[in-house]
Amino acid sequence: MNRLRAYLLRHAQMLVGSLGRLARQPFASLLTAAVIGIALALPLCLELILQNAGAATSAWNDAFEISVYLDKGVSGERAQAIQKELERRDDVATVRLVTPAQALAEFRVNSGFGSALDALADNPLPTTLLVTPSLAASTTEGTTALKTAIGAIAGVATAQLDSEWVQRLDAILELLRRVVFLTAALLAIGVLLIIGNTIRLDIANRRAEIEVMKLVGATDRFARRPFLWTGFWYGLSGGLIAIGLVAVVEFAIGGPTARLAALYGSSFQLNGLAWPTVGGTVLGAAALGWIGAWLTASQHIREIHPH
Amino acid sequence: MIRFESVYKRYPTGREALSGVSFTVERGEMAFLTGPSGAGKSSILKLIALIERPTRGQVIVAKQNTATLKSRAIPQFRREIGVVFQDHKLLHDRPVADNVALPLIVAGVPERETTKRVRAALDQVGLLGREKSRPLELSTGEQQRVGIARAIVAKPPLLIADEPTGNLDPMLALEIMRVFKRLNDVGVTVVVATHDLNLIEQFPARRIVLGDGRIMADTAPAALAAATSTAASLAAAAAAATPAAPASA
C-alpha cells in the first residue's frame, strides 16, 4: 500500500516536474504545441463546417414534401376524403389542402402576374394536397414508396417529389465526412511523428541524466516515465490550441455566415463545435502525446547504455 | 561476493585493459585496487557494476554471472551495488538531496523514508545542511562526497569506489575512508580503487596491485600486519607498480 502511494506520488511529481521543464523553455515548448494545434485545427474546422451544414439542411426536411395534384374534376368533398385517407397513413405526418382559389391567391401575391391572371376566364390551378411524410418515412426510399402509393389513389393526377438535390447534398456531406475522417487520421499520425521527434531530441539532450539513472538501478520504464508526461503535456496544450484556433475561425466566419443566410431568407446562425467534440479533441490530443512519447521513448531509452 | 576468472577486457579501440585477471573478494571483505592509471582498476570496477562485459572469462558478482544476466535484471542487480564514480556523475540541474535520493527514488522507496535516509547519508559524508545546494555550487571535493552519499544511501551490500578521495584534502580523504571502513565493519563488502598509497597505508585491508592489465601482487591484511614497517610494504607496492608504468602511459 505504501509502495503504491509512493508510486502514485512519484507519477504526480513527474507530471508537475515535466510541466516545469517545459515552462523553462517556453518558446520551444509553445512552438511544438502550436504545430500540433494547427495540425489538429484543420480537421476540426472541416468538422465545424460539416456539423453546421448538417444543422442547416436538417431544417430543410420539408424538401421531402410531396405535392399531390388532383384531377381537374375532383370535387371539394372528394379532395377532403383523400386528405383524411392520407392522414390515416403511418408514414404521413401532415396533409395540407390547398383549394384552387387559395392557390390562385398565393400565386397572385408571390408571382407578380396579378393582372395577367385577371385575363383568365377561369382558374386553371388544380386542388393540391401538400403531404409531409412522418419522420420515420423521411428517407429517399420512404418518400418514393409513399409517392407511388399516393399516385395510385383515384382522383390523383400526379404526385411530385423533388428531393433530388437533397440527395445530392447528402452525398456531398457524406463525402466530406469521409474527407474529415481521413484528414484527421493522417494528421493524427503527423502529430505522433511531431511528438516522437520532439521527445527523441529531448532524450538526446538528457542522455547523461538517463545514464546516471540507469547506473543507480533505474529500469527503462522508470527512465521513460517523465518523457511520457512531457508528451502528454505537448498533446494537451496542442489540443487546447486547436480548440482556440477553431474558436477564432468561428468568430471570423460567424458574421459572414449569418449575412449569407439572411440573403437566403434564413435566420441560420453558425454553431460552435459540440462539447463532446471539444472534450474528445483535448483528451484525444493528450492521449496522442502520450502514445507518441511512448513509442519513441521506449525505443531510444532502451538503446542508452551507461559507460 | 566478487569472483573474476581469467578475465580479459579489450575495448573497441583495440586497447586490452585486462589480460587474464583472476581474484575473489569474499562477502564482508574490504579490498584496495591499486596501481598506476591505465593499469585496469577502472575496468575491473566497470565489469563489477556491469557497465562493461568481459571480452573473455567470467565475472561473478553476488552469485550472478554477469555474462548470462538478462538485461531486464540489470536494474535490480545495480541496486545491490553502490558505485562512487571518479567523475561523480551528478545531475547538475537537481539539488544535492535529489541527487542522493536517486537510488531510493528509482527503487520506489516511500518519500518519508527517503528523506530520512538522505539526511543520514549526507551526515555520514559531512554535508548535512547542503541538501538544497546545486552540485555546481559545491567544490569538487564536496561533489565527490555527494557521489559517496548517493552510493551508500540505499545501504547496498557491495560498495565500489573509483578514486573516491582523488579530489579531497588529506583530512577529508581520511574521513571518507573511515566512512568506508565503518560500512565494512557492519558487513558491507567494499572495493576501492585508488593510487593514494599514503592513505591505504593507514587501513589494514587487502591490497590488489594491478599493472598493465595483470595482477602484480595480492596482499592479504594478515601479511600487512606482519610486515615490520609500513614503509617496507609501501616500497614493495611501489616497486610492483613501477615496471608497468611506462607500458600503460
Q: Tell me the Cα Rg of chain B.
A: 18
Contact A306 B51 (CB under 8 A): yes
Residues of A with CB under 8 A from a CB of B: 2-3, 5-7, 9-10, 209, 211-219, 222, 305-307
Task: Give me the residues of chain A with pLDDT under 70, please.
Answer: 1, 58-63, 110-114, 162-165
Q: How far apart are CA B184 and CA A19, in angstroms?
A: 43
- The set of residues, in sequence order, having a beta carbon less than 8 Å from that of A184 and lying 6+ positions away, is A43, A47
* Position B32 pLDDT exceeds 70: yes
User: How many CB pairs lie under 8 A apart between chains A and B?
Assistant: 54
- For A307, the 3-state DSSP assignment is coil
Nearest residue in chain B measured CA to CA from A21: B93
What pLDDT is attached to residue B240?
A: 57
Q: How far apart are CA A224 and CA A218, in angstroms?
A: 10
Q: How many CB atoms neighbour CB A266 within 10 A? A: 13
pLDDT one-digit tens code per residue, B52-95: 999 999 999 998 898 888 888 999 999 999 999 988 899 998 89
What pLDDT is attached to residue B151?
A: 94
Q: CB distance from B52 to chain A under 8 Å?
A: yes
- CB B20, CB B7: distance < 8 Å: yes
Beta bridge partners of B16: B10
Beta bridge partners of A132: A94
- CB A14, CB A229: distance < 8 Å: yes
What pLDDT is attached to residue B244?
A: 44
Å from B222 to nearest chain A CA? 34
Contact B79 A222 (CB under 8 A): no
Q: Among B49, B52, B106, select the one facing A213 at the smallest CB separation.
A: B106
Give the residue with greater pLDDT, A187 vs B221. A187
Contact B51 A307 (CB under 8 A): yes
Rounded average pLDDT over B29-39: 90
Closest Cα partner for B193 from B49, B48, B33? Answer: B33
What pLDDT is attached to residue B249?
A: 35
Nearest 5°: phi and psi at A112?
80, 10
Q: How far apart are CA A194 and CA A40, in angstroms?
A: 12
What pLDDT is attached to residue B225?
A: 54
Q: Among A6, A213, A214, select the one facing B109 at the smallest CB separation.
A: A6
Contact A212 B102 (CB under 8 A): yes
- CB A77, CB A85: distance < 8 Å: no
CA distances from A89 to A68, A147, A150 (A): 15, 13, 11
Beta bridge partners of B158: B81, B189
Length of chain A: 307
- The one-character DSSP state at A216 is T
Q: What angle do CA A200, A202, A206 make, to 5 degrees?
A: 115
Å from B37 to nearest chain A CA? 18
Q: CB distance from B78 to chain A under 8 Å?
A: yes
Q: Among A2, A6, A217, select the one facing B79 at the smallest CB separation.
A: A217
pLDDT one-digit tens code per residue, B81-138: 999 998 889 999 889 999 999 999 998 888 889 999 999 999 988 899 899 999 999 9
Q: How far apart are CA B38 and CA B43, in angstroms?
A: 9
Q: What angle do CA A302, B1, B3 make, to 5 degrees?
A: 80
Distance of CA A15 to the CA centre of its chain: 33
pLDDT one-digit tens code per residue, B148-196: 999 999 999 999 999 888 777 888 888 888 889 989 999 999 999 998 8
What pLDDT is attached to residue B247?
A: 40
Q: How many CB atoms neighbour CB A210 within 10 A? A: 22
Q: What number is the ipTM of this complex? A: 0.82
What pLDDT is attached to residue A119?
A: 74
Domains in chain A: ranges and CATH: 2-59+167-302 (no CATH), 72-154 (3.30.70.3040)
